[in-house]
Chains A and B, each alone.
Chain A
Amino acid sequence: MIVLILPLLPVAGAGVLLLLGDRPRLVGVAAVGTLLLTLAVAIAAATSEPSFGWAWSPGIQLRLELDGFGRTMSVLVPLIATPIVAYAAATEDDGRRRLLALLLAFVGAMLLLVSAADFLTLLIGWELVSFLSWTLIGHRWRDPDAVRSATQAFLTTRVGDIGLFIAAGMTFAATGSFAFAGLAGADPGAQAVIAAGVLLAAAAKSAQLPFSPWLFAAMAGPTPVSALLHSATLVAAGAYLLIRLGPDLGAVAWFLPAVATVGIATALAGAVVALVQTDAKRALAGSTSAQYGLMFIAVGAGSVAAAGAQLVAHAAFKSLLFLGAGMAIHATGSGWLGSLRLARAMPLVALLSAVGALALTAVPPLGAAWSKERILAATLQASPWLGGAVLIASLLTALYAARYQLLVFGPPDAGTRAAQPYRPGAAELASLAVLASVTLLLSAVWLPGGERFVASMTEGTLESGAAWEIAASVGLTAVAFGLVWQLFRSRRLLTFGLPDRLQAAAADWLGLPAMTHAIIVRPIESLAATLARLDDRVIDAGIRGVAWLARRVSALAAIHGEWTFDGIVRGITSLTLGTARASRTTDDLGVDAAVEAGARGVGLVGEASRRLQTGESHHYYVIIAVGLAVMLVVLIWIP
């Protein structure tokens, strides 16, 4: 039962918020209070491995369960969300109540997703998260860009949803139920399909290549929204899914390598993007993709525990970084990295952000370094190439993390405008502080027993690495820091002196969005437009054929019409001609559906058939004579 309360509590809180009316303080307090309560419930739930079933239909049950990494996630989500919501309550004046309510509902949906024990429940949570992210990203709905971005984000992840649909359907087809529990027992063919579906869904949600660009779009929302989406929720859902289901699907031979490949590609590309981006939030977004890429690599290397640990660490430091960036942008009104350098303007924030940046760089003894080290170990264990890639990614991470921190919160120089002095509110600082302390507290995993704790919380195993690996990564980090400092000094840190075109392309996922637009969106839209036109004026081949035939017949009839001028022949000719004209008219007009053309054809034939009724009795006599002849033919010759 408690596992049902967990997602419902924030949702109920959201409802209460809506009822509270326009009272900013009260609303904020209520929101944070709800989340704290949720956190408490989550902790209680996480310690008890609860489960809850709920009849959907006679044959199907929805199951909620907290086990394995789910327990960690269920605590992590409210834990990270609380300071973010507090921050939002303090900073967002525009539609505060709506934003907070949606954030709470969003947390609820995420908790539902986390506690799902079958595909159907998972899908429900999954899609609700998508929907709420649409409302959150589009929070500033008066801005058409925000609306467009929200739509883009929703649609991209919706593509991934297809994977989940397929996985769910296949699971049912193979096992007769949606439950995860049956996955391992499914036949290999079905498992392969399920694995593909899961990978698609996870990649789309976690902004892996080729879906990564939607994360940029997601930046259109307010800062707290970005912070929440990128850290413990929306984006995390993909990685969570893999952590949760990866072991079950490991039997599919290509699955883990594929996951790892996606991860490597994204980790490297995301790092490059983060390195050359000139917008603070987008740089962080690139880093998010890269970080989730690391988690994918971990899963691919077989170490879900390392991936889980990385997820937790990332959730803490990334939200911290985002909130910091938000304050910087708030202070200067711009996120352009060339104009910030706010060390003097907001030293405390700079310091807290630095904690996040160091975590991002994975500097020991922070918790993030621990998880990174475990990932490295796992990958090296799996394959040296994989390990090498992780090392390169680490180097790049160190570079962009240092670049980010320096460009945003570095010491100002002559080139930067003097920022207005900005006094962050107590709530904002407190939020940052909480997140920073969480980041710091995670260092505890280095302590003895940390390893066991992590393993138990993720129900996975951990590889311990050799000492040289730590040394190597620390060394690399140091080199990177040096390099960045040099570039900073020489003022080439912003674009590294790259040509503008190259820099812009690299910063925008190497032109991936434009490409998607060109090869997917545009063709679909033009296909849709074409089909719509077609639907309005279908001319099918059949009608053309009839028209052609009728024209030939009418030509023949016209010749006969000249030969004999007797009225009835004229009548018959005109009937034929009418038919022909009918067909030709529809052919020429060509503006209406085939059905319409057919109808008009019937109408014109009707017009023509009236001409048989010439009004002259002797024509009727001929009709009778001809009719009689036909009757005789039918009677005499047809049998």
Chain B
Amino acid sequence: MSGELLLDAIFWLFAAGAVVTGYRVFRTDSMVRAAFYLLASFAAVGGILVLLGAEFVGMVLILMMAGEMLIMAIVMVMYMMNPAGLNPMWMVHQHRVAVAAGLLSFAVLAAPVLLVDFPDHPNPAPEKATAQLGEELLGDSMLVFQTAGVALLSTMIGAVVLASRRGRYGEAEEGSTEPSLEQDLEST
């Protein structure tokens, strides 16, 4: 009984944390700070997932986001103006529309919660979750798993192609453009 209460309390903590930090992402003056708020939001969600019994997924989420936010912070420091929040940062457009869209999205997603009778079919064996995932991953979802692998490979290639400063043959940007409109000597 008290365990459940505790669980609830932790949940509410995570829930509130996820939403509040999520909100703070866009209410801070520093991009770096925003990144860490985002990380916090993800961590809270990861926590909820763990509470729900999906330990593996929750932890992966947290770890992945941590890495990602590091990259994000670096990118911001590298390229973006005003990375550390030296000046007040308020760079928004179409604010009113965005607020309306955000509220509307919430309403649309919340509506089913109130209106739809979701099936009541709770997880019978939460403790086996990770093992089941392993089976699923290498069993039924083999194709999905492999496809995801190819997607990640493509992403790596793509990220290198797009972002690397140096290529195999010197400057990566060298010659990386459309053909000239006039006849060049090679092509005949």
Contacts and interface: CB of A to CB of B under 8 A. Distances in A.
Interface of A: 564, 566-569, 618-619, 622, 625, 629, 632
A622 B94 CA distance: 9
A569 B97 CA distance: 10
Interface string B93-114: 1101100010011001000000
Nearest to B92: A618
A622 B108 contact: no
A390 B96 CA distance: 101
A625 B97 CA distance: 10
Given A622-B101, A625-B101, A564 B93 contact: no
15 contacts: A564-B96, A566-B96, A566-B97, A567-B94, A568-B94, A569-B97, A618-B93, A618-B94, A619-B94, A622-B97, A622-B101, A625-B97, A625-B104, A625-B105, A629-B104
A566 B104 contact: no
3 A-B pairs closest in CB distance? A625-B101, A566-B94, A566-B97
Interface in B58-106: 93-94, 96-97, 101, 104-105
Nearest to A626: B101
Interface of B is mostly: helix
A632 B93 contact: no
A632 B109 CA distance: 11
A625 B101 CA distance: 7
Nearest to A566: B94
Contacts of B108: 632
Interface in B109-129: none
Contacts of A632: 108
B163 to A, nearest CB: 20
A625 B105 CA distance: 9
Interface of B: 93-94, 96-97, 101, 104-105, 108
A21 B93 CA distance: 95
Contacts of B101: 622, 625
A43 B93 CA distance: 108
Contacts of B94: 566-568, 618-619, 622
Contacts of B104: 625, 629
A619 B97 CA distance: 10
A625 B94 CA distance: 13
Contacts of B105: 625
A198 to B, nearest CB: 80
A566 to B, nearest CB: 5
A632 B112 CA distance: 13
Contacts of A625: 97, 101, 104-105
B114 to A, nearest CB: 14
A429 to B, nearest CB: 93
Nearest to B97: A566
A353 to B, nearest CB: 94
B93 to A, nearest CB: 6
Contacts of B96: 564, 566
Contacts of A568: 94, 97
A564 B94 CA distance: 10
Nearest to B104: A629
A618 B94 CA distance: 8
Contacts of A622: 94, 97, 101
From B94, B104, B108, name the one whose CB has the most chain A CB atoms within 10 angstroms: B94
From B97, B104, B105, B108, name the one whose CB has the most chain A CB atoms within 10 angstroms: B97
Nearest to A619: B94
A610 B15 CA distance: 44
Given A567-B94, A569-B97, A622-B101, 10 more contacts: A564-B96, A566-B94, A566-B96, A566-B97, A567-B93, A568-B97, A622-B97, A625-B97, A625-B101, A625-B104
Nearest to B94: A566
B104 to A, nearest CB: 7
A629 B94 CA distance: 18
A568 B97 CA distance: 9
A531 B108 CA distance: 59
A627 to B, nearest CB: 12
A569 B93 CA distance: 13
A632 B107 CA distance: 12
A375 B72 CA distance: 121
B94 to A, nearest CB: 5
A317 B96 CA distance: 105
Contacts of A629: 104
A8 B146 CA distance: 97
Nearest to A567: B94
Contacts of B97: 566, 568-569, 622, 625
A629 B93 CA distance: 20
A618 B97 CA distance: 10
A564 B104 CA distance: 18
Contacts of A564: 96
A619 B101 CA distance: 12
A566 B104 CA distance: 18
A136 B104 CA distance: 89
A548 B94 CA distance: 32
A454 B39 CA distance: 127
From A564, A566, A567, A568, name the one whose CB has the most chain B CB atoms within 10 angstroms: A566
A602 B94 CA distance: 30
B108 to A, nearest CB: 6
Contacts of A569: 97
A567 B96 CA distance: 11
Nearest to A629: B104
A332 B97 CA distance: 100
B156 to A, nearest CB: 25
A569 B100 CA distance: 14
Nearest to B108: A632
